[in-house]
Amino acid sequence: MLLTIDIGNTNIKLGVYQDDELLAHWRMATERLKLADEYAVMIHNLFALAGLNVKQVQGCAISCVVPPLTGQFRVLSRSYLGVEPVIIGPGVASGLRYEIDTPDQLGADRVANSLAAFRRYGGPVIAIAFGTATAFDVITEAGVYIGGAIAPGIGISADALFRLAARLYQVELARPPQVIGKNTVHYMQSGLILGYAGLVEGLVRRMQTELGTPCTVVATGGLAEVIAGETDAITVVEPLLTLEGLKMIYEMNRPA
């Protein structure tokens, strides 16, 4: 079995593959101060609840954008899984070529998303990951990563609004009944959800104009379904895109 681990700023996503079959997947909160031993207990428990034997894990692929946790999960993989992990980063084959100024600074999760989107849908393709930040990644027909954009995520945008506006309060991130709200809850939901859909539409339109052609737009992440329901700029939602990309990268870099 292969264990794929995507460590984001807010959540950690895990997937277990047997060959091409996804046996189970989970999500847990990212806690920067947790140690390898503590995460190992959580992973062992998740395996047990799913009826899987963690001792059958023969490989591990990790993407991490939280530097303090990279070392902890390396220790976890070596000590508790008994395997040398493939950690996405400089020196690891990604299956893509890059035409950007700083390819070594590209987030590991964005590398995995870009590869999975290109392999599944071909190019040109735009991969959008709705996470703590919302990342747009553009891959050409020839499999060249040419750049993208980063916008504040919906969650942190909402948190800033609630925290800095004294008379506003936390609301559910859901579609309002109509664009023109009739009360404070609907005012904020319209601005946050429908306004964010407008952000996505605007960036996708401008990117396609620069590319000179329409292209497939693949969305992933926690709020991808919500935003995809409000715009036709998104072609398809792939909730497990990052885990699939990690599996693909592992297969190219499988330890001897």
pLDDT digits (tens, 9 = 90+) for 60-92: 999 999 999 999 999 999 999 999 999 998 889
CA 127, CA 148: separation in Å to the nearest integer? Answer: 9
**Tens digit of pLDDT for each residue in 162-177?**
888 877 778 888 889 9
Q: What is the mean pLDDT of residues 179-196?
A: 92
Phi, psi torsion values for 220, nearest 5 degrees:
-145, 170
32-65 pLDDT, tens digit each: 999 999 999 999 999 999 999 999 999 999 999 9
The set of catalytic residues is 109
Query: What pLDDT score was predicted for residue 214?
Result: 93
Residue 86 confidence (pLDDT): 96
pLDDT above 80 for 256: no
What integer is the mean pLDDT of 138-165?
92
Average pLDDT, the chain: 94
The pLDDT score that the predictor gives to residue 240 is 95
